Amino acid sequence: MVRDIVDDPLDEDDIALVKTYGLVPYSAPIKKVEKEIKELTEKINDLCGIKESDTGLAPLSKQMMQEGQPLQVGYVSCFRYIPIDLLMDIFSRVPAKSIARFRCVSKLWESILCRPDFKELFMTMSSIRPPLLLFTFQDDDGNLFFFSSPHPQIPCNENTSLVPTRYHVQHTTDSFSEIGSPLCGFICRRGKRNLDTMVICNPVTGESVSLPKVELKSINTETRPYLGYDPVRKQLKVLCIKSDDIPNTCDEHQVLTLENGNHLWRTIQCKPHYPKSDGICIDGILYYTAGFDMRARVSMVVCFDVRSEKFSFINIHVFMLMNDSCTLINYKGKLGALQFTCLSPKRLRFWVLVNAEKNIWTKCIYALPPLWNNLVQHTELAIVGMTDGGEVVLSQYCLIYAFYIYYFNLESKSLTRVQIQDVEMFKRTRVYTSLGYVENFKLMTDYDRGFNTFSPQGRLF
Amino acid sequence: MSSNKIVLTSSDGESFQVEEVVARKLQIVKHLLEDDCVINEIPLQNVTGNILSIVLEYCKKHVDDVVDDDASEEPKKKKPDDEAKQNLDAWDAEFMKNIDMETIFKLILAANYLNVEGLLGLTCQTVADYIKDKTPEEVRELFNIENDFTHEEEEEAIRKENAWAFEADTKHEDPKP
Within this chain, do residues A287 and A377 fall inside the same structural domain, yes or no? yes
Q: Do A143 and B175 touch (CB under 8 A)?
A: yes
Mean pLDDT for A395-420 is 90
Within this chain, do residues A131 and A104 fall inside the same structural domain, yes or no? no
Last residue of some domain: A83, A114, A145? A114
Within this chain, do residues A275 and A357 fall inside the same structural domain, yes or no? yes
Determine, yes or no, domain membership for A394. yes
A196, pLDDT greater than 50: yes
Q: Which of B 44-73 lie inside 8 A of A, CB atoms?
A: 45-48, 51
| A76 chain-B contacts, CB cut-off 8 A | 101-102, 105, 142-144
B71-104 per-position pLDDT tens digit: 444 444 444 567 888 888 899 999 999 899 999 9
Write down the pLDDT at residue A73: 61
Give the span between the Cα atoms of A203 and A427, in whole angstroms. Answer: 21
Determine, yes or no, domain membership for A331. yes
Query: Chain B within 8 Å of A441 (Cβ-Cβ)?
Result: no
Mean pLDDT for A197-219 is 89
Q: Give the three-class secondary structure for A102.
A: helix
Determine, yes or no, domain membership for A456. no
A147, pLDDT greater than 90: yes
Within this chain, do residues A224 and A76 fall inside the same structural domain, yes or no? no
Contact, A392 vs A348, CB < 8 A?
A: yes
Within this chain, do residues A101 and A8 fall inside the same structural domain, yes or no? yes
Within this chain, do residues A109 and A139 fall inside the same structural domain, yes or no? no
Within this chain, do residues A438 and A302 fall inside the same structural domain, yes or no? yes
B21, pLDDT greater than 70: yes
Give the span between the Cα atoms of B21 and A56, in whole angstroms. Answer: 30
Q: Give kind and range of the element (H or E) at residue A88.
A: helix A84-91
Write down the pLDDT at residue B160: 80
Within this chain, do residues A193 and A50 fall inside the same structural domain, yes or no? no
Q: CB-side exposure of A332: number of CA atoms within 13 Å?
A: 7
Contact, B14 vs A2, CB < 8 A?
A: no
Write down the pLDDT at residue A294: 86
Write down the pLDDT at residue B73: 44
Determine, yes or no, domain membership for A257. yes
Within this chain, do residues A259 and A353 fall inside the same structural domain, yes or no? yes
A60, pLDDT greater than 80: no
Query: Chain B within 8 Å of A141 (Cβ-Cβ)?
Result: yes
More confident position, A102 or A46: A102
Contact, A134 vs A182, CB < 8 A?
A: yes
Write down the pLDDT at residue A5: 53
Q: What is the DSSP letter of A79?
A: G
Determine, yes or no, domain membership for A119. no
Torsion of CA B108, B114, B119, B120, to 10 degrees: 50
Last residue of some domain: A64, A86, A114? A114
Distance from CA of B3 to the nearest CA of A (A): 17
Share of chain A above pLDDT 70, in %: 87
Determine, yes or no, domain membership for A460. no
Within this chain, do residues A96 and A192 fall inside the same structural domain, yes or no? no
CA nearest A265: which of A222, A313, A309?
A309
> Domain span at residue A327?
127-448
A71, pLDDT greater than 60: no
Compute the count of residue pairs across chains A and B with CB atoms less than 8 Å apart. 176
ipTM of the complex: 0.86
**Cα–Cα distance list, B34 to A272, A349, B77 (Å):** 61, 55, 20
A309-365 per-position pLDDT tens digit: 999 999 999 998 999 999 999 999 999 999 999 887 889 999 999 998 899 999 999
Most confident of A16-20, A53-57, A382-386: A382-386
- pLDDT grade, residue A371 (50/70/90)? confident
Last residue of some domain: A52, A83, A114? A114
Write down the pLDDT at residue A57: 46
A24, pLDDT greater than 80: no
Within this chain, do residues A79 and A217 fall inside the same structural domain, yes or no? no
Mean pLDDT for A248-274 is 88
More confident position, A159 or A175: A159
Write down the pLDDT at residue A132: 93
- pLDDT grade, residue A186 (50/70/90)? very high
Find the range with the poorest average confidence among A90-104, A121-135, A247-261.
A247-261
A459, pLDDT greater than 60: no
Distance from CA of B168 to the nearest CA of A (A): 9
Determine, yes or no, domain membership for A60. yes
The count of domains in chain A is 2
Q: What is the pTM of this model?
A: 0.79
As a whole number of Å, the CA-based R_g of chain B is 22
Q: Do B46 and A38 touch (CB under 8 A)?
A: no
Region of residue A84 (left: phi > 0; alpha: psi -120 to 50; beta: else): alpha
Mean pLDDT for A254-279 is 90
Share of chain A above pLDDT 90, in %: 46
Most confident of A206-210, A304-308, A340-344: A304-308
Query: What is the domain-level CATH number for residue A440?
Result: 2.120.10.80
Q: Which of B 98-117 lie inside 8 A of A, CB atoms?
A: 100-102, 105-106, 108-110, 112
Within this chain, do residues A341 and A440 fall inside the same structural domain, yes or no? yes
